[in-house]
Each structure stands twice: as structure tokens, then as C-alpha cells.
Structure 1
Amino acid sequence: MSEPTNGGPGLPQQRKIVTEIPGPKSRALQERRLKAVPPGVGSTLPVYTVAAGGGVLVDVDGNSLIDFGSGIAVTNVGNAHPEVVRRVQQQVAAFTHTCFMVTPYEPYVEVCERLNALTPGDHEKRTILVNSGAEAVENAVKIARYATKRPAIVVFDHGYHGRTLLTMTLTAKNMPYKEGFGPYAPEVYRVPMAYPYRSTEDGPATAAKVIDQISKQIGAHNVAAVLVEPILGEGGFIEPSPGFLPAIAEFAEDNGILFIADEIQTGFGRTGRLFACEHEGIVPDLITTAKGIAGGLPLAAVTGRAEVMDAVHGGGLGGTYGGNPLACEAALAVFDALDADRITAKAARIGEIMLPALRELAAGDPRIGDVRGRGAMIAIELVKPGTDEPDAALAGAIAKACHAQGLIVLTAGTYGNVLRFLPPLVIPEDLLHEGLDLLAGAIAETR
């Protein structure tokens, strides 16, 4: 049994199943939930958490589950990282809120300074802090439109950017994110994504089609920004074909279009680099971050070129809770941990372990159509044997089998047929291997 690398003091890093999953106490809480919370708020696995850290999550029944979800790529440095806890406790004893727009405070400024230094590019930058990824994307679009005086925003097939009116408009997948919630925001245009598993074209060829479509159907001079996830998250952990994103970025630069990188799921070491756009040498004009930024506390940011960010008039950006001091202190602890805990190296190591193991499983199972990912952002795409027809039912069955054995996994994908794996970047390697063994067993169980 490994010693905990993070999380609550003494939390054993082991899988331990003492009841069925979910257990009786979780089921009782679920009954209460159903009477208090609308069904529109879903849960992947209704086990109710009392402790988490390192690579495990402990529920109210005493079960200890292996975590391959990280709260959807949030707890990169682990739950309850000691420095996150220390800095938040210190701050909460001082004050919880003043509103930065009323009386500011140093942690907000320091987080912005650190993001300006950490994000790609050596140009002068500015940062604003908000509460969620969707809010960051909304503000990035606002800023891009204001700075360019252009209305159109270009997004991509399979992309996901949030659940608010604007961000669900930007999101590609209808169900469950958009169904019944229209009408949607105007001046949003969707173009193809270079999806290697489902395309015979290379990246530059797909980019050429996209550029042609933008030029003919929208007019490049009308486009404020192109908005893209460097690796698509909810859409199925799609790595765009090599050369696609650089070609789009070059077209944007040549036409006065801002390139916005949505790094909300990919940022802060998740892919083995600090930011996923670094894999192809892309320097975005604006970058949105959230999820892994503050160790589980709600915080998000827009960082961008100084001349773009400074274009907005005074009072045009902000929000009551944006850059809350507790979340800022948590983020500063996370930034320190990125170096001190060698987070990007740990993410790369997770990929070195998981990808070969999953490819070995795929070699013996025609239902696994594709294995893909970078660092600790990895997925398998499930299809009907001998075809590329998506098999969402199989993905759900495998996930259910994993959950029953105490392994938390998530589904994703436009077609619902992708299993995605997002372990905390501090997960002990023995737990990682055990989780892979459980996954292999679940896949075999569904044959």
C-alpha cells in the first residue's frame, strides 16, 4: 500500500470495497437528493464523498475508490493539497470577500502576474479573474469583439465551451447541453475539426477547407476570433491532426483574427506540458483557464495580449465574486506545486504507463477503435467490431462495470462512445496500474 502523496493526512492510498457501489448510506443520501435537487443536475456515480486525496476518493460507506476523473480535470495537484489547505485557511481567517472591484487585494494581482508569466508567449499580457470556465469563455468573446470591432466567432465541430446561453451556443453537442434551451446567441459559426480517427484528410488539408469556408461563408474581415480547445475535451479527447491548429493560427494572424485557446480542461500540466497549445508551438492571443487552476476552488481566468485586454473601457469587465481571495490563495499554492511537485513530468509519466497498456488492450479487442491522448488526458473510442460505428451502449456498460469495482471513469464524445481517463497527476503508480487492471477486467466482462 502506497503512502498518500497528497490529500488529507493519513488517507490510505488503496482501493477498498466494503459495500456494494453505491452503498446504503450513499443510497439514502441519493433519496434525499432526489427530493431536493432537480434531475437536470446529473452525477456520473452517486457515491457521496467524505474524503479524497492522492488517487482515491472515500465515500460515506467507507469505500475507497480509485479516481480516474479528478472532478473532471480539476484536482491536478490532488484534493486538499497541503499548501492549498494552508493558504486557504490563512486567508479565510483574514477575510473571505471585499469584491476586487470595490477594494482590491494583493492575491488577485499576484495570480494575474503569475498567469501572465506562465501562459505561452513572451509578449506583454493582462489577466482578468472570474469564477468558471464558461464565464472565462464569455469574457474572452466579449473582449475579442470589443477589441476587433467585429461580430463573428468561429468554433469547431465536437467542441465544448460551457452551458450558459453564449457558451452552449459555442458548444457543438446538442444533447444534453443544448436541447430545448434555444434560441441561441447570434454570430457564432461552426466549422469542421480535423478528427484523425474519423477523417482521411491530414491537418493542413482540413485547415484549408476551414479557411475556405470562413472566407466564403462569413468573410474573414467579419471574424473577431476563432475559439478552439487544443485537445477537445467533452467532444471525446480529440487531438487535432498535426498541422491543423498551426494553419488556423497563421490564417487568423494574417487576417486580424484573434486566436483564443480554450485550455480550461487541458491546462496546468494535464497533457504533459503546462498548456496543450505548447505541443504545436502555438501562442494564442487570448487563453482561457479554469478547472486545474485552484485545486478545486472556483476560479477561472482570461489572459491575453496587453493591447487586446486593455482595449475594453473601464468597468466593462468584472463580477462580484471574480478572483475571490480564497480561490486566489489556492491558485498561488497550485502554481508553486507545479514546479515543486514536478506536475508536468508526472502527467507525462501517466501517459507513458497508460497509453501502451490501452493500446495492448485495443490490439486484442476490435471494439476499441482508437486510443489517444497526451499526458494524463487519455481516451478510448468504442465502436461496433469491424466498423467505425459508435457504440455508446458499450461505453456506458464498461463505465458501469468499472464503477462497481471501485474505479471512477467518465464517458464523453459527441457520440457518447468515448471513455476518458483523467487521474490526478499525483496518483501513485501502483494505483494507476490497479486501475488499468480493473478497466481491463471491465472490458472483458462486457464481451
Structure 2
Amino acid sequence: MSANALFFHHPAAKTYKFNDEHPFHPLRADLTIQLLQAQLALTKQQIVQPTLITDDHILTSIHRTEYIQAVQAASDAGQQIVTPTFIEKYGIGTEDTPPFPGLHQAALAIVSGSVAAADAVMNGTTQHAYHISGGLHHAFPERAGGFCIYNDAAIAIAHLKENYGARVLYIDTDVHHGDGVQWAFYDNPDVCTYSIHETGKFLFPGTGFVYEKGLEQGYGTCFNVPLEPYTEDESWLESFQTTIEAVISFFQPDIIVSQHGCDAHAFDPLSHLHCSMNIYHAIPAIIHRLAHQYTNGRWVALGGGGYDIWRVVPRAWSLVWLEMNDQPIFSGSEASKQQVKQDLLSIDAVMEQIYQMKDVDFSMQPKLLLPEQWRKLWQPASPVPLPQYWLDLPQHIGDIPRRQEITKQNRATQTIAIQDIK
């Protein structure tokens, strides 16, 4: 796999900030970019600032004109426009999506980054493209939801389909169901949506059940893998690999668009899954391999959720770029089912050595340590101790007593999710 990746980022994306207390904070992107730069893994030459979209048709490929006008009005008027009718009709003014001055322009910058990344991959400028500010998967054609104003992922997919005739596989690993993208293409046979998430029985948005399969011509191109609360690494990765391998083999896409919400981590305050950084090391490795196996390397990766912005998001999002740019922190990343299990055993053994204060040979895996300059820069601002390693120490995560029961239920879900694939 040759290194051929570009990192898309528009400075205006950092203005997508609802308020200081809101969990969806743009500081996540700055923390990630500076971590990658401290790791000497992201150069100025690899960063592309996308041109802001001026073509209304790109937004209206997913969103209704009336809704776009409402976003623009909220962007200009801010809190003054909030009324019960406005909130009910457009979803703007809720606790999740309060209006703020410049809302439309900030959301448009995020859309611009995802569309530019999609163009760069399909026109051959690069094989892989990464846009960490993207992945706002909860926005609907007519309303906002779940911190999302414009659905940049769905807009980029619609752009790929309309301008390149591409068959798109959308892979969503956010702990919350990728509802907005699913419903946008629910009847479309050329877009396959796949979401692995905590079951909607207990978590927003309350959808993403295995029986959601698509509609009319799109029936059979929608896949959901809802996992039980307190699912841990091994069951999460087993569920992901078993199902995504079957889905991509069945659908045969031209390009992969992946959303990398990292809120399935045990530290995340907005979910109940109990995973560690191990899954965020494995996910991009698996997708990377599948991209080269099925789509000639064509892969667009987006950010998404993740609300432990100090300990989890910078590491998880950086791991996507490190894999995409052929700089994984751990050498064994071919990501076959057998290899992932071997990698996890090796990683766990090394981290256990660290935990037990034993002699650790970092000459074999020196990249397990986070850059000290990044930790020193940001520790004064962080309300929690910043991690020392790319991966989690065992005592930080802990075990779940119901592991066997949870694994059994997740295996039943795996079977149902892909039972119709021929």
C-alpha cells in the first residue's frame, strides 16, 4: 500500500461552536491536528484547505430549500429567531442544536471539506482523503438533530453518485446510529449504508435496528448492527469484521465513505459501550485493507462524534490518519480476522507490561508513546490527566461482568444483520 493521502481542513470549521458548555466542541480538531504534527505525521503539504461551496445545488441534493433558508435566518438572527414553532419545524433552538451567529457559514465549511475530499479521491488526486470536521450524520433534509445542521456525509455521497456515477459504501462506526445518512438513501440501490452502534433501545436516536433493511429498490442495501450496552473490544471487533466483510463483498462498491465517531469508548460520557483505544486502532486498518481489496484504494474518512475531547478524540482520530498515511503505531495492521486477534494480544501484552511496571522494550514499538511536547502543551488546559500512551492501560478500562451474555447477544445480532446476503 503506497502512501497517498490528503488531509482536508477549513479554518472556518472551528467556528462550528454552539456554546462553551456544549459537548460538540471544535477544539477536538485542533487537539488532533497538533497531536499529528507533534508526531511528525502531518505536513503542511498534506493539508488541503477546501474552497467554500457556492453552488446551492450541492446543499439541495439533500436538504430542502426552506430548511436552508431557516438555517441562514438562524445564522443571522441567532437566539432571537427561536420560537416553539421554529424549533418544532426545523430542529434549531433545541439544547442539542442552539443557533449562533455564523451557523450557516460554519456548517457550509464542513460540507465543503467533505465534498472536496470526495472529489479528490474520485478524480484521482489522491487515493485516500480525511476530513475530521465532517461526519455530521444526524441532520435530515428538513431539520437539524443530534448536534448536526447540514449532513455533510450524505451531501458528499449524493455528490459522488451524481457527478461520478459511483456506487458508495457508507461505513458508520459512531456509537450513535447514522440515521440521517441511512434515511437519505433508504430507497437507493447504489448507496449501501452500514452502521454499527449501541442499540437504539437505550441510546439516541432510537433507531438502527436490524430490521431496517431499505425500501423498494433500495431494499437489501441497508445494514445495521446494534450492539448491547457495555460491549467490549473483542465483541465489538468481532461484530464489525464479521458483518462488514460480508457487506462489502456483497455490495462491491466503487468507493468507501467512512464516519469515525469515537464515542464507543468507555470514557465517553454520552454512551454505554465499554471499548478501549484498541478498536480505534483496528477500525481504520480494517477499512484500509478493504479499500485496497475492493475499491482500488478509494476511501474518504470523516470525523463524527466523540465527547471525551482530551483523552479519546485526539488519539482515535489521529489513528485514522496514521493508518491512512501508512504510519500505524503498531506494525501488525493487515487486519485480517486472525491478524486483529494477534495484534490485540500483542498490544495487550505490551500495555500489561507497562501497567505492571515491567521492563518494556520500546525499541520494537517506540510509537506507543504519545509525543511529550503535545502532552506538555495541552495538560494545563485539560481537566483530566492526558494519556501517556496511544493505547489504554488495562486498569483504566476494567472488565464487565456480563461479558459472555453480551457477546452471545451480539453474535445473534450479527447473524440477523447479514442473513439476507446471498
Bigger radius of gyration among the two: 1
* TM-score, length-scaled by structure 1: 0.33
TM-score (ref. length: structure 2): 0.35
Higher helix share: 2
Structure in which a larger fraction of residues adopt strand: 1
